[in-house]
Amino acid sequence: MVDKKKPQPLTVPSASATEPDGHISIAQTSDRVTLSLRSGATATILLYGATIISWKINSKELLWLSTASSLDGSKPVRGGIPLVFPVFGPPPAGTPVEKLAQHGFARSSRWELMGRSEESDESVRVDFGLSSEGLDDETKAKWPYTFGLLYSVTLTKETLETKMVVQNPGEETFDFNILFHTYLRIPDITKLTVSGLSGLTYRDKTQNHAEITESSDAIAITSQTDRVYVSAPGSVIVSSDGAPLFTVTKEGLNDVVLWNPYEDGVEKIEDWEPKEGYKEMVCVEAGSVAGWQSLEGGAAWEGGVVHKAHL
Ligand code: TA6
C-alpha cells in the first residue's frame, strides 16, 4: 500500500502523467512543473527558484507576473511567489549574510523536484528541495552553512498552500529570515482594502523604517507602500469594493509585509511591465523577517502560508 502522505518518487515521463481517474495531473518539462485538478485549479512552478509563476482557478489568473519577467533563470522572477531565504531585503553589513544578494539565494537557485503525493482526489502536492550541496560554489562561499530546504506546494480547489521546512544538518547554528513574496492579482488598486492588521506595529520602509501603529482595519493603498507588520495574527483578508478576494493565512510565521511600489516606484524597477501593472496587484507576504530565526545544529523549522481565493 503506497503511503499517500509521503512524497513518492516522480515517475512522470517527459510529457504529462494523468492519474487513472483524471482528477490530478502533474506535467513536468525541463524547467517547470504544472499541477492541475479536475476542479479547474492549476499551478505552475519553475524549478528556478521553485517560483510559482501561475495559480489559476477556472482559467482566472490569481497571481501578478510582470510581462518583462525573466523566466529563463537569468534573474529572479518579477511576480508570482518568489521565495526569500536566508535574508529579507538588503543584507545587513557585519552579518553572516552580508555578501548575499537582496532577498537571499533561494529565489535564484535551481531546486530539485523531490516528489509528489496525492492528499485526496481534490488536492495534489509536489515537493522541491535545495541544500548547501546544491548551491553553486560562489554562493556557498558567501554563506557557508550546511542547510536543507524542503518546499511543499499543495493545490486544492480553492487554495494554494506553500510550506517550507528548514533543516540544519550541520553542527553550527545559523540565523535566517524567510518569506513567501506573494504578488496577488487584483482588479483595481483604488478599490482594494486589506484587513486583519489593525492595532499592529508596522515598520514603514518609505519612512526610514519608522514604527507606526496601524489604526485601520480596511487599509487602502494610495501611494508607494512598503510595510513590515510585526507579530501579525493568522489571517489577512484582501478585498475589492468590500468583497473578499483572498485570505492569506500564515502558520509558523511571525510577520506580514504589505508592498505596492505604486506609480513612482515602478519607474525604478526595470523588469516591471506593464508599468500600469501596479494598479492590478498587491504583495501580501507572510514571513519571519522582523527578526532572525535561529536554527541550532540538528534542528528543523517549519512555516507556511495558505492562500485562499474567494471566487
Ligand atoms: O517585500 C517588499 C520588498 O522588500 C520591497 O522593499 C522591494 O524591494 C520588493 O521587496 C522587491 O524586491 P526585489 O529584490 O524583488 O526587487
Q: Give residues (CB < 6 A) around ligand 1.
A: 76, 89, 102-103, 181, 205, 226, 257, 259, 283, 285
Burial of 122 from C-beta contacts in 10 A (0-12 / 13-18 / 19+): middle
Specify the pTM: 0.93
Task: State how far the alpha carbon of 178 is from the alpha carbons of 253, 257, 287, in Å.
Answer: 9, 12, 5
pLDDT for 186 beyond 70:
yes
Q: What is the pLDDT of residues 134-177, one digit of tens each?
A: 999 999 999 999 999 999 999 999 999 999 999 999 999 999 99
C-alpha cell at 147: 542547510
| Residue 299: its H or E element | none
Q: What is the pLDDT of residues 199-238, one digit of tens each?
A: 999 999 999 999 999 999 999 999 999 999 999 988 999 9
Sign of the C-alpha dihedral computed for residues 174, 302, 166 and 111 taken in this order: negative
Cβ pair 82, 65 in contact under 8 A: no
From 161, 181, 214, 307, the catalytic residue: 181
Of the listed ranges 7-16, 19-28, 32-41, 110-119, the least confidently predicted one is 7-16
pLDDT of residue 112: 96
Burial of 249 from C-beta contacts in 10 A (0-12 / 13-18 / 19+): buried
Burial of 72 from C-beta contacts in 10 A (0-12 / 13-18 / 19+): exposed
Work out the pLDDT band at 14, boundaries 50, 70, 90: very low
Ligand 1 pocket mutation pick from 107, 206, 226, 228 by most atoms within 8 angstroms of CB: 226
**Is 285 one of the catalytic residues?**
yes
- Mean pLDDT (the chain) is 92
pLDDT over 90 percentage in the chain: 86
Residue 141 identity (one-letter amino acid): A
pLDDT of residue 4: 44
